[in-house]
Amino acid sequence: MMIFAVAFVSLFVSATCDFGLINLLYWKADANLDHIISKSELQTIWHGFDKNGDKRVTQAEFAPYWSEITGHSQEIAVAYFLLADLNDDGVIDQSDLDALYKLFDRDGNGQVSAEEFSLTWQKIILDMPFAVMFEAGDINKDDLLTAQEFNSAFFYLDTNRDQQLREGEFSAQWMNRGFGASHQATELFNQMDLNRDHVVSAADLSQLFTRYDSSLDHKISLAEMIHMAGLVPPLSTNRLGRASEIQYEVYLFDAVDTDNNTLLDSAELRALFLIFDQNNDSVILEAEFKSEWVTYLKLGSPEQAATLFKRADLNADGVLTSADLPAIFRYFDQDGDSHVSLNEFLTQWGALQLGPVNTGTVVIG
């Protein structure tokens, strides 16, 4: 079969966007925060799914837990299991993990960087809908699709059961099932509508079956099926414009979460801002902030650093001090529970960076 990525354990998160999921998966995988995922880190994370400790993860172990921690549907969880089971033996074990690590190590240097992790995961996310449809169409569960089953795989999205797909119903089902964005559905539909009659019919699917039956055995395997992911446009860049990078904001969060409860209290959030205090005088100048942001932490551009600094400097005195921090904490604490969750932190941090600055300051208290 094809590729899969390691999941995180012990953190419940609603997978509201593809890049948010990738970032959080990477954050939990990179245990020592060195921006590299080692093979041992990969294996440690995988053990979270091995409920009975037999070093073999079954679909029954994997799917419910994946759904729990990501919010994905059962059918999507099963699809990710199928993509993880590289040798198609019904379990994820050491042989799958060894092959998995090689797939993530795109340059073959023996380690997985943030960019490699993100790029590979983007491919997996595009593969996932085809694994869902493959499983739905595989009526006899022999891990191969006949021509009739191939049709059934796509007519799985045929809501009015008329044996043809129109763009509206295809796009609606694509999005409702969590497969991706509307523009991806539109592009895929257009690529599958071979005779340009504005429907995907059995005639179109027959031609597609022949095209993707690379083994010429009159059957479609999962590996052949997910080659169709090449018809889908790539994921859009994330909200910071960094499609192939991990948001390093999560490293800042983790670095100051000293009690490891995935929540920041006011003291921990204060410690986060003091990371930018180069001379340890409890006063952060804009020059200090920019230097740490751009040169050391590599979080973004000087313009982004200036925007965030001005928004955080509530009294517009040109420095960040303890006087600014209470209002900053209230800004991050969206639900007012006196703690800042990772989701709150990423959401509000992004808003600070990207919002326009019309004056020297903005009230965020």
**DSSP result, 331-365:** HH-TT-SS-EEHHHHHHHHHHHHHS---SS-----
Q: What is the pLDDT of residues 27-38, one digit of tens each?
A: 667 777 777 888
Q: Which two tokens stand for residue 162?
A: 């008329």
The pLDDT of residue 19 is 57
Q: What is the pLDDT of residues 302-358, one digit of tens each?
A: 887 887 788 778 778 888 888 888 888 888 888 899 999 877 887 777 665 544 433
Q: Taking 70 as the threshold, does the pLDDT of residue 296 lie above it?
A: no
In this structure, the dihedral spanned by the alpha carbons of residues 144, 147, 152 and 153, taken in order and rounded to 10 degrees, is 50
Confidence (pTM): 0.63
Q: Taking 80 as the threshold, does the pLDDT of residue 276 lie above it?
A: no
User: Residue 114 and residue 216: Cα distance in Å, rounded?
Assistant: 38
Q: What is the pLDDT of residues 150-202, one digit of tens each?
A: 999 999 999 999 999 999 999 999 999 999 888 899 999 999 999 999 999 99
The pLDDT of residue 362 is 34
For domain 249-354, the CATH superfamily is: EF-hand (1.10.238.10)
**Stretch(es) of the chain classified as CATH 1.10.238.10:** 249-354
Q: What is the pLDDT of residues 96-141, one digit of tens each?
A: 989 989 988 888 889 888 778 888 888 889 999 999 999 999 999 9
Q: Which two tokens stand for residue 78?
A: 């099963």
Q: What is the pLDDT of residues 50-71, one digit of tens each?
A: 888 899 999 999 999 888 877 7
